[in-house]
Amino acid sequence: MIKTSHKDAPCPMARGIARVGDAWAVLILREAFYGATRFDEFHKRLGIAPNMLTRRLNTLVDEGLMSRRQYSAHPPRDDYVLTDLGRDFRPVLLTLMAWGNRHFSDDGETVRLTERKSGRPVRIALIDADTGERITEASHAIAPGPAASAGLRARLERFAQTQPLESNLSAPTHGASQASTEQLHD
Comparing 40-44, 54-58, 63-67, 166-170, the range with the smallest average pLDDT is 166-170
Q: Tens of pLDDT along 119-165?
A: 999 999 999 999 999 999 888 888 999 999 999 899 888 888 776 65
Give residue-wise pLDDT tens across range 9-26: 878 888 999 999 899 999
- Domain limits for position 82: 12-87
From CA 75, how far away is CA 29, in angstroms rounded? 25
Q: What is this structure's pTM?
A: 0.80
Do 107 and 51 reside in the same domain of the chain? no
Instruction: Tell me the CATH number at 65.
Output: 1.10.10.10
**CA proximity to 184, closest of 147, 146, 144:** 144
Confidence of residue 1 (pLDDT cuts 50, 70, 90): low
With beta carbons less than 8 A apart as the criterion, state whether 40 and 77 touch.
no
In a domain, 5, yes or no: no
What's the confidence (pLDDT) of residue 121?
96
